[in-house]
Amino acid sequence: MARLHSTSIVERGCELSDDVEVGPYTIIRCGTVVGPGTTIDAHVLLEHTTIGVDCRVHFGTAIGGPPQDQGYRDEPTRVVIGDRNVIREYVTIHRATGEGNATRIGDDNMLMASTHLGHNCELGDHITLSTLSGMSGHTVIEDRAIIGGMVGSHQRVRVGKLAMVSGFSKMSQDVPPFSLVDGKPARVIGPNLVGLRRAGIGPEVRQALQRAFRLIYRSDLELAKALDVVSDELGGFPEVLYLVEFLQRMRDGRVGRQQEVAETKGLGGP
């Protein structure tokens, strides 16, 4: 049977695995599911939420509250959290809007203190959200991305895998995979070489991505032509092809492209 502090409140209809620990003054509302090995600290509020295995939810966190969306009409939605996630103090995660939808978090993520995930956000695996970063509704963050402290995201932004967003940046457009971005609005500085090395990406792939970023962001080529050249020259690398496909899908071509072109033809970088 789950180990519940005497001051905690767990409503009927919750499903808590036998080894779950629940701290003082925590409230777990009907319909919440908590998997094996998970620890819920003091003064936590859980509702409309499913949490997986071996997660750690720290003091003051609120998960599953109604979305900050004027179109929400109390339809049934959820937050779904995977395994081995660390959710630190005072994090807020809102459930989705739209009947049957969910705000989703994958596995092995770290959400640092006072971060916020709005309705319908989707996080992959091995992601770090640094302190006081806030993701607006429908933001998607792919695997192994790192979001710096006090970063703000516009709605429906997508952050590509292994991207690094520097602290205090403003994400108003999609962030390409494997990139390092910075600024207000965030602009591409170059490839995230440190992150690529840490992820075990080999030197040949790193060099190919470095060449691709130079062609796309530091040459005089128009975006469509640059992507054609990158595909022709470097298309043998799946990572490069993914970068090209991502950029082709981006709403405005690239992060801050219009402002970049107006200000300078060449950004600093490798």
Convert the pLDDT of each residue in 82-134 to its tens digit: 999 999 999 999 999 999 999 999 999 999 999 999 999 999 999 999 999 99
Average pLDDT over the chain, rounded to an integer? 93
Q: For residue 270, what pLDDT is reported?
A: 28
Phi, psi of 252 (to 5 degrees): -120, 20
**Range 247-258 average pLDDT:** 58
Q: In this predicted model, what pLDDT tens digit does every residue of 165-223 receive, in sequence order?
A: 999 999 999 999 999 999 999 999 999 999 999 999 999 999 999 999 999 999 999 99
Q: 0.95 cut: is pTM over it?
A: no
Which pLDDT band, with edges at 50, 70 and 90, does 136 fall under? very high
What pLDDT was estimated at residue 200? Answer: 97
Could you tell me the pLDDT band of residue 257, with boundaries at 50, 70 and 90? very low
Position 258 scores a pLDDT of 34
**Hunting for tokens 């992507």 — which residue is that?**
227
| Pairing outcome for strands 187-191 and 179-182 | antiparallel
Confidence band, pLDDT 50/70/90 cuts, at residue 250:
confident
Starting from the edge strand earliest in sequence, which strands make up the sheet with 33-34, in order?
15-16, 33-34, 49-51, 78-81, 102-105, 122-123, 140-141, 158-159
Q: What domains can be seen in the chain, in order of their start residue?
A: 3-192 (2.160.10.10), 196-263 (1.20.1180.10)
